A and B are shown apart, each in its own frame.
Chain A
């Protein structure tokens, strides 16, 4: 059974660094990409970036200067680190797996999400 589960601190101080972990099971990180998507409380969704199955990454340029995605395949974990957090970074952060079909990718399995509040 394919599962993804996000974990993280919940509350982060402004200007500090956010560190999140996505732990996956039921598939291999060397066979599928894992993405990070965030959702603001007003429901808008933002694609943040991607860890490809071969280990390289793609980022939304809106985050490039402060976002880093990495992984530990031995632990089936993908990590998100984002620095210089501001209140507008408050939201729910999801990790999701993508599959390739019909000449493109779609995100077919999602974690439950982890809520992050940026506040002093």
Chain B
């Protein structure tokens, strides 16, 4: 199985910060990486797919980039409503696999 390693596991941030998190695949997944947001007690929400396309309704402060094994997710201007856990996921090959998540907390 492809292992997706996310870093950091948590970040303490302030509103207005630029936030960058990473996801590294254990083998080449091409561009087949998506980013999901999960707020406390809620389900997952697709933000970015394949790996730089913003999904319908996702604010433009969310961006994704990368290819092959290294991927980055950025929030350009952190808002309070962005406090959540963010997951990357590869869909290059079965089984689809998720990273362990990056949790954003207020400083």
**A interface residues with partner B (beta carbon < 8 Å):** 37, 43-47, 58, 60-62, 94, 96, 101-108, 110-113
Contact = CB atoms under 8 A, between A and B. Distances in A.
A43 B85 contact: yes
Interface residues of B, number: 23
Interface of chain A: mostly helix, strand, loop or mixed: strand
Nearest to B32: A104
B34 A94 contact: no
29 contacts: A37-B44, A43-B85, A44-B98, A45-B44, A45-B87, A47-B89, A47-B95, A47-B96, A60-B95, A61-B94, A62-B95, A101-B49, A102-B31, A102-B50, A103-B50, A104-B31, A104-B32, A106-B34, A106-B46, A106-B49, A106-B50, A106-B55, A107-B36, A107-B44, A107-B46, A108-B49, A110-B44, A111-B43, A113-B43
A43 B101 contact: yes
Contacts, number: 61
Contacts of A45: 44, 87, 89, 98
A111 B43 CA distance: 7
Interface string B35-55: 010000001111001100101
**Shortest beta-carbon contacts, A-B, top 6:** A60-B95, A106-B49, A102-B50, A47-B96, A45-B98, A110-B43
